[in-house]
Amino acid sequence: MKRKILLAHPTVGGGSLITSLNIAETLVEMGYPIKVVDPWEYQFLIQKKFPDKNKKDINCLTKEVTYEYLFKAIRDFKPDLFLTIFGVYIRKDLFSFMKREKVISCCWFLDDPWGFDEATKVASNYDYFFTHEPTTIERYRKLGVKKVEYLPEACNPNVHKKMKLDENELSKYKCDLSFVGKPHPNRISFLEKLADYDLKVWGDGWEEISPRLKRCIQGGDVSQNIMVKIFNASKIVLNLHPTYGMKREILGEGVNPRTFAIAGCGAFQLVDERGEMKKFFKIGEEVVTFKHIDELPDLVEYYLTHLDKREAIATRAQKQVYKEHTYRHRLEKMFNFIEQNEYLDFSP
Kindly give, in sequence order, each residue whose CB lies less than 8 Å from that of residue 233, ignoring residues fewer than 6 positions away: 165, 169, 170, 173, 174, 175, 178
Whole-number Å distance between alpha carbons of 137 and 147: 10
CA torsion 326-327-329-334 (nearest 10°) is 150
Using DSSP's 3-state secondary structure scheme, residue 107 falls into strand
Q: pLDDT per position in the chain (348 positions), as tens?
A: 679 999 999 988 888 999 999 999 999 999 999 999 999 999 999 898 888 888 888 888 999 999 999 999 999 999 999 999 999 989 999 999 999 999 999 999 999 998 999 999 999 999 999 999 999 999 999 999 999 999 999 999 999 999 999 999 999 999 999 999 888 878 888 899 899 999 999 988 887 777 889 899 998 888 999 999 999 999 999 999 887 776 655 678 999 999 999 999 999 999 999 999 999 999 999 999 999 888 999 999 999 999 999 999 999 999 999 999 999 999 999 999 999 988 677 777
Q: What is the pTM of this model?
A: 0.94
Write down the H helix ranges in the chain: 14-29, 39-49, 55-77, 92-100, 116-119, 137-142, 167-173, 185-192, 224-233, 248-251, 257-264, 277-280, 296-304, 307-324, 327-342
| Amino acid residing at 49 | K
Give the C-alpha distances (Å, rounded to integers) separating 164 from 125, 170, 218, 260: 46, 9, 21, 20
